Structure 1
Amino acid sequence: MTDMSNEGGKIAATPSPSQSLRKLAKYAIPVIAILGGVLIWHIASTFTSPLFLPSPAMVWGAAVEMALDGSLAGSIGASAWRIFAGWAAGVILGVPLGLFMGRFAIVRLLADPYIEFFRFIPPIAFVTLAVIWLGPGEITKIALIFYTTIFIVTLNTIAGVESVNPLRLQAARSLGATRMQEMTTIILPSTVPYMVTGARIAMGNSFLTVVSAEIVSAQQGLGSLIWTARNFARTDWVFVGIIALGCLGFVFDRIFRMVTNRTLRRFL
């Protein structure tokens, strides 16, 4: 039950106690789970050496140290830019490619052999060639992330196109819709959930790729930070880099979900 009051011609709803508890639990349970994980981590660290498992306090101290000297922010910024640029390029090209491959048989026949061949080759296999062909600069890392993104987005978009009910297309044709109108009014809206899913999966793979690329050919970035920490036997730095990657991925995913949800509610 919710209490309704009318003040000044406006109706206000007061949340019931059960609704308030559910809202509180929605935020409290994840916080409790995180604190419990940190507690278990702390207990486990007391039974081993800091080289094997540093304590949360040691990792926090290392994070503060790196934040004060600017190395942590620089590493996060470099990796974030590379991930976003390569991922965005893969989505921008992968979506139309998937739409046309799913809609037009000739495009599918032409592109499918390349998609099916290259999607099974991991980006790390091309790191050396990418450095030779593109140089050790930013374009190399972005190109590798683009490579790992485009196939996932394309395949998910193709699956979305193939899932469209043929009866809807037949109904549109009977009303005189052109092929382009079918694409924009039926196929594209029906495929959006598949595109969003493909983009989210590709974003996760982008984080895997950026670490590999930065270990091989980068002076700055979270992957480079983790590798440098390994060379200096600073396990606490490794933990800082890993936690930063997880937090960055969480932020990227939440921003993407927020933007897509608002956009879909507005246009679809």
Structure 2
Amino acid sequence: MSIIDAPARVRVLSIPRKRRGRAAATVAMRYALSLGIGLLIWQLLAMSYGPALVASPGQTLSSAIELARDGRLFESVIASSRRILIGWGLGILVGAPLGLLMGRVKVVRQLMDPYIEFFRFIPPIAFVTLAIVWLGLGEASKIVLIFYTSVFIVTISAISGVLAIPEDKLRAASSLGANRRQILKWVVLPASVPSIVTGSRLAMGNSFLTIVSAEIVAADVGIGALIWQSRNFGRIDWVFVGIITLGILGFIFDRILRIVAGRVLARYSVKL
């Protein structure tokens, strides 16, 4: 390419950047519009039903500032986040290998499947009393409940990912001389990672559902405990603060998980 054509090349290269910039601006505008509509509907509901039933966005914001200043909000966020991350992480550490094993070994799947199918239909809240009796009111009972609600989702997702692998791929790898460990590393694991990531995201959502019920029953600190204590004090605005905090926290956790998982999946040319 000659020097004369260099400006034209620069213009051509700048076109995708401009398009990406316009696309990002469009997405940001849509998010802002959606947020504005949601706040408007919220304000109209608050005006219709009154502060005794629905706290307005302004009341919720001022209450959040009040709870943040005295430290209760941050203390609750840290306590709940720690319980969720530990229980959820343990669920992935156990569920993913178990699902891969069950998907690959038919005998193990037949032995474990009745228990998986039985316990996954029992909600964690049914075990709250037993968890407190067995493990006490400390952190262990709440972490175990979150682990319980996470492990089955991840396990089933991993199994489905393994079983969805075309048999031709496995036979081709075997015919090329790959042993079981190599097939697991280069065929099974890459094909199963997207399903495991999806299961992990679903398990994260269920962890937030479980933490509220666990903290309401057996915790003095946490977002669930804050919501329950606010109900006892008749502070609807504090209840709204707790609910909004849960949503924001879940949104942040899911975004971080998607970013990290996206980098992992990029190694396998898979988009999240």
TM category (shorter chain) comes to over 0.9
Per-residue Cα deviation, 1:209-248 (whole angstroms, up to 9, x for no partner) = 0000000000000000000010011000000000000000
Residues paired across the two proteins, number: 264
Are positions 1:219 and 2:220 aligned together?
Answer: yes
**86-95 or 11-20, which moves further after superposition?**
11-20
Distance 1:171 1:18, change over 3 A: closer
Q: Check conservation: 1:83, 1:210, Cα contact below 8 A.
A: yes
Q: Check conservation: 1:156, 1:194, Cα contact below 8 A.
A: yes
Distance 1:93 1:124, change over 3 A: same
Unmatched 5+ residue regions in structure 2?
none
The alpha-carbon deviation at position 180 of structure 1 amounts to 1.4
Are positions 1:141 and 2:124 aligned together?
Answer: no
State the secondary structure of the residue aligned to 1:46.
helix
Question: Could you say which residue in structure 2 is the equivalent of 1:194?
Answer: 195
State the secondary structure of the residue aligned to 1:125.
helix
TM-score by length of 1: 0.93
Question: Could you say which residue in structure 2 is the equivalent of 1:92?
Answer: 93
In 1, Cα distance between equivalents of 2:53 and 2:6: 60
In 2, Cα distance between equivalents of 1:47 and 1:186: 58
State the secondary structure of the residue aligned to 1:120.
coil
Q: Check conservation: 1:5, 1:12, Cα contact below 8 A.
A: no
Structure 1 residues 108-187: aligned runs within 5 Å: 108-187=109-188
Per-residue Cα deviation, 1:163-186 (whole angstroms, up to 9, x for no partner) = 001001111111111111111110
Structure 1 residues 8-87: aligned runs within 5 Å: 12-15=13-16, 20-87=21-88
Unmatched 5+ residue regions in structure 1?
none
Per-residue Cα deviation, 1:142-183 (whole angstroms, up to 9, x for no partner) = 100000000000001100000001001111111111111111
Question: Could you say which residue in structure 1 is the equivalent of 2:244?
Answer: 243
In 2, Cα distance between equivalents of 1:58 and 1:159: 46
Per-residue Cα deviation, 1:35-78 (whole angstroms, up to 9, x for no partner) = 12111211221222211111111111100000100100000111
In 1, Cα distance between equivalents of 2:35 and 2:221: 29
Structure 1 residues 197-208: aligned runs within 5 Å: 197-208=198-209
TM-score by length of 2: 0.92
CA RMSD of aligned residues (A): 2.0
